[in-house]
Amino acid sequence: MADFSNYLSPGRRGHLVGIGGVSMSSLAEVLKGMGILVAGSDMNESRNVQNLRDKGIPVAIGHRAENVTEDVEFLVRTAAVHDENPEIIRARELGIPVFERTQAWGAISRDYSNALCISGTHGKTTTTSMCTHILMAADRDPTVMIGGTLPLLNAGHRVGHGNTIVMEACEYYDSFLAFYPTVAVILNVEADHLDYFKNLERVKQSFRAFAEKVPEDGTVVANLDDPNTMDALKDLGRRVMTFGMSPRADVYARNVKFIGDNTSFDIMYRGRKFTDVLLHVPGMHNVKNALAATAAAICLGIRPNAVKYGLAGFNGAGRRFEFKGKYNGADVYDDYAHHPSELRALLDTVETLNYKRSVLVFQPHTYSRTRSLFEDFVAQLKRPDVLFLAEIYAAREKNIYGISSADLAARVENARFFPGFPELEEALRQTAQPGDIILTVGAGDVYRIGEDLVKSEE
């Protein structure tokens, strides 16, 4: 089998199928920064596609065999692109090796003496972003791959010249098993992506296999407060540094104070104060994310001041409780939460912010997740004062389950289901009041609703 590392040299020519995705577009720019000649294709025009073109990377719209020319030396595909894709078929006819996106990132990570990979069912993007801020404050000049946009970078990636790479590591389809972490962070382990994993035990097996990728002189950073994480790592045979809210953890928080949107606390390391932090994002879940980032930083030998100032400079990642603007006196926020635990953390945070009403616009993500975690979704969707439900965002799936957001609405008193965005947006305009917080929530395209509201106010 071909090794992607053999193609990581200037002048090689590659084609990326699904190049407009967050991780794929970042990969394209990183490869270009290494002097590789990159082109690609995507099914739709998008901001990412235009950004790539602006940077000199050709992108064709539509997947067609003729996009793969005979001078292409390798092809990388996103997980949503299958063997029957015409570009994959053409590549194999020409004898061009086909790599998965995670194989490419994994090969890139092997070139760094420090490969920090952040995994977990929830919190990966935020924690990877926090780690990036810390590494930048420490002048480590890192290479970065994040599954979202970080304002510090004005992108989801960065090509650095230091010896450290920080990467978001997703478990879906066991993708992160292609990575080579020297420090592996496991934030939490929960039942998710059950269309692939089938059950929680299989999820735990995957995270254990990821932890076992760490070399004997590396470190696994683990959430002591999460029983599933600790069960998955039992008798691992690797150095494990724990974080959590309990003083039993290696890294823990003390004197936590919530001050509006800000949170102050002391970070303790093995019983002694490491540093104090003023975090400019709300919620206890972000305190825990900051503890995980700090533990990872300690593994990399980063000093307390870089942690303090790096975290102080973090104001959130794109689509993670992101303030979009105002409409009719209401504050409009957007969040990527698409799992019941993420919804719980989001709503817990909102309840501390003293708004008159919480108005939740929720778009479930994938039919399989909605079906598998239906009762858990219902429990959280009962919490906001006003609930509007958009139809399920299909993503990669077909609705073989016969499920709809209307089924969720039927279980939640006063919930309203809207099959299309125009009707939902009009109802939201009529509902919004001064003192409200409006939350557009989900991993699909629900963010467009909040953006439309804010634009109409300008």
Residue 124 annotated to the active site: yes
Given the residues 29, 168, 171, 425, the one annotated as active site:
168
Residue 125 annotated to the active site: yes
Given the residues 29, 78, 124, 349, the one annotated as active site:
124
Given the residues 78, 102, 125, 164, the one annotated as active site:
125
Determine the Cα–Cα distance for residues 377 and 276; give it in Å rounded to an integer: 36
Sign of CA dihedral 312, 269, 294, 230: negative
Helices 124-137 and 304-312, axial angle in degrees (round to 10): 120
Q: Which amino acid makes up residue 323? A: F
Determine the Cα–Cα distance for residues 370 and 367; give it in Å rounded to an integer: 5
Residues in a beta bridge with 265 = 277
Place of tokens 């997980």: 79
Q: Which amino acid makes up residue 387? A: L
Contacts 24+ apart (CB under 8 A), 405-413: 405/363, 405/364, 405/370, 407/374, 408/364, 408/370, 408/374, 408/377, 408/378, 408/381, 411/378, 412/378, 412/381, 412/382, 412/387, 413/382
Residue 326 annotated to the active site: no
Determine the Cα–Cα distance for residues 17 and 25; give it in Å rounded to an integer: 10
Residues 6+ apart with CB under 8 A from 458: none
Residues in the chain: 458
Residue numbers annotated as active site: 124-125, 168
